[in-house]
């Protein structure tokens, strides 16, 4: 990924430019599908079993588990830092949704789990996630660890084997999952969900959780 170009795009806030980029890159590159393989839109009940425990390494090199992110809502995305277009676009969407949430964003942690551990070192992840949001956390690990995490969310990924160990693409699911403060899977946002729509949905989940908390408070 060319961070200079990405930064320029972000700085310009050029949604139109990003849209054009996606249109340019989507149709004619069958290898870069980034689609929802294995996870078509289904009822909430069918997806209720998504999620599960994971052990990974954060962008500061610290070993972490899913429990480390309990206590806040989580916007979870699987991808890789060398992704030329889809990952930067979707993480920008997450960042814009966080911005749109205003103070409520304090209750949300954006998580980026790499499906490319050989190249996505903690140091590289740290630099990458910081481009998008100061509180975005990058996670990596062994191939086995990231595979376990991806499987828990039925997130598909597959390296395009072109024989080059340094330059390759990875097809992967480009959904953003919303988890509750208890780590429970709540819903997901398809790739290209508008940031305002994502923010409105997250807001409704946060407010609903707040209502439930208020209701369960003993009357005094």
Rounded to a whole number of angstroms, the minimum distance from the CB of residue 116 to Ni ion is 9
Q: Answer yes or no whether residue 110 interacts with Ni ion by CB under 5 A.
A: no
Note whether 21 and 8 are within 8 A (CB).
Answer: no
Q: Which of 69, 75, 78, 79 binds Ni ion (CB under 5 A)?
A: 79
Q: Answer yes or no whether residue 87 interacts with Ni ion by CB under 5 A.
A: yes
- Please say which residue, 39 or 83, places its beta carbon nearer to Ni ion: 83
Rounded to a whole number of angstroms, the minimum distance from the CB of residue 105 to Ni ion is 23
Q: How many residues bind Ni ion (CB under 5 A)?
A: 4
For Ni ion, the nearest residue by Cβ is 83
Note whether 90 and 195 are within 8 A (CB).
Answer: no
Taking CB under 5 A as the binding criterion, the range among 72-80, 92-100, 116-124, 132-140 that sits at the site for Ni ion is 72-80
Q: Answer yes or no whether residue 98 interacts with Ni ion by CB under 5 A.
A: no
Q: Which of 75, 86, 139, 155 binds Ni ion (CB under 5 A)?
A: 86
126-134, Cβ contacts within 8 angstroms, sequence gap of 24 or more: 126/59, 126/60, 127/3, 128/1, 128/3, 128/81, 129/59, 129/91, 131/3, 131/6, 131/7, 131/10, 132/10, 132/91, 132/92, 132/94, 132/95, 133/94, 133/95, 133/98
Q: Answer yes or no whether residue 83 interacts with Ni ion by CB under 5 A.
A: yes
Q: Answer yes or no whether residue 202 interacts with Ni ion by CB under 5 A.
A: no
Collapse the DSSP code of 39 into the 3-class scheme (helix H, G, I; strand E, B; otherwise coil) and give the result: coil
């Amino acid at each position: 990924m060319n961070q200079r170009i990405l930064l320029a795009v972000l700085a310009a806030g050029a949604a139109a430019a990003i849209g054009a980029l996606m249109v340019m890159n989507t149709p004619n590159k069958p290898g870069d599908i980034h689609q929802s393989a294995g996870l078509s839109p289904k009822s909430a009940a069918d997806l209720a079993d998504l999620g599960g425990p994971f052990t990974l390494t954060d962008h500061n090199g610290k070993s972490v588990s899913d429990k480390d992110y309990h206590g806040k809502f989580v916007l979870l995305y699987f991808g890789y830092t060398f992704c030329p277009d889809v990952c930067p676009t979707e993480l920008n969407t997450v960042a814009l949704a966080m911005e749109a949430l205003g103070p409520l964003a304090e209750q949300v942690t954006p998580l980026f789990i790499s499906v490319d551990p050989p190249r996505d070192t903690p140091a590289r992840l740290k630099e990458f996630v910081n481009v998008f949001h100061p509180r975005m956390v990058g996670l990596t690990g062994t191939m086995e660890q990231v595979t376990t995490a991806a499987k828990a969310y039925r997130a598909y990924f597959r390296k395009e084997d072109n024989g080059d160990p340094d330059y390759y693409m990875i097809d992967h699911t480009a959904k953003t999952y919303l988890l509750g403060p208890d780590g429970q899977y709540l819903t997901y946002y398809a790739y290209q969900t508008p940031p305002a729509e994502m923010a409105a949905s997250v807001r409704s989940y946060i407010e609903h959780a707040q209502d439930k908390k208020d209701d369960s408070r003993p009357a005094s």
